[in-house]
Copies of this chain bind each other. A is one copy, B any other.
Amino acid sequence: MPSVRARFYLPEIDADGRGVLASDEAGHLTRVMRLSVGAEIDVFDGRGGMFEARVEAVVRDAVRVRVMGPAPSAAEAAVRVTLVASVLKGDKMDDVVRDAVMMGVAGIQPVVAHRSEVSVAALARGHRLARWRRIAVASVKQCGRAVLPPVHAPLDLQDWLAHRGSDAALVLTEPAAGGGAALRELPRSAGVELIIGPEGGWAAEESAAFAAAGIPAVSVGQRTLRADAAPLVAMAALFEAWDGW
């Protein structure tokens, strides 16, 4: 494996190529990586720009860097997948966010489904959105992307359904629940909202709502997937079926 420079998220870069790391990132640079003035790093702006940079100044917790030139980054996926992910129990949603970002998701919309066992209000009290966004930044660094996909504020599933646009959507169903079409049977689209259920699957009224909204049901394979593994498996199958890697 070729060695890679440590990567830091720097959304704002001045016209003269300078920027100041946010405190999380600065702490990571100075305390975790133990880097200081003169260190060569990579910075990414979260919108597709990846750059070689040099640490110009470290004053207490403030780290100023200077961009030197472009650096390579991992290509984005050819199919734009927005993961509409039912919130799972405990910390399992953390893994879903981490894995979806690694796979190349374009955005994540957490939704509270009937069997999610949590409310939108409880998620807000637990500052879960801020946590998921930090996890997304960490995963972007690990997988080499220069695009930071947005993690949107959680919504109740029915609210999301009532207000969603006209983008193509697919809902994953379990084989035990009767299954759905195979991905290869569906027409490829440039962008898709991929809706994935919680532990225990969809309630009957949710399945009915998807059908009423004209959203096709799909299945991947014939074994029962763990809820936290389903997004990773479904995205891999979708990218392969649609040549969207």
Contact = CB atoms under 8 A, between A and B. Distances in A.
Nearest to A203: B1
Nearest to A197: B1
Given A229-B232, A240-B236, A74 B143 contact: no
A184 B145 contact: no
Copies in the complex: 2
Interface size class on chain A is: 35 or more
B200 A222 contact: no
Contact of A237 (B184, B200, B236): B236
B176 A223 contact: no
Contacts of A200: 1
Given A174-B1, A183-B240, A225 B75 contact: no
A12 interface: no
A75 B243 CA distance: 26
A1 B176 contact: yes
A239 interface: yes
A221 B76 CA distance: 9
Interface stretch (A30-38, A57-65, A97-105): A97-105
27 contacts: A1-B174, A1-B201, A2-B177, A4-B176, A74-B175, A74-B222, A75-B222, A99-B229, A102-B224, A102-B229, A103-B223, A103-B233, A104-B221, A104-B223, A142-B224, A142-B226, A143-B223, A144-B176, A144-B223, A145-B223, A184-B240, A221-B245, A232-B232, A232-B233, A234-B236, A236-B237, A240-B241
Interface of A: 1-2, 4, 74-75, 77, 99, 102-104, 142-145, 174-177, 182-184, 200-201, 220-226, 229, 232-234, 236-237, 239-241, 243, 245
Given A75-B222, A142-B226, 8 more contacts: A1-B176, A2-B177, A74-B222, A144-B176, A222-B245, A232-B233, A232-B236, A236-B240
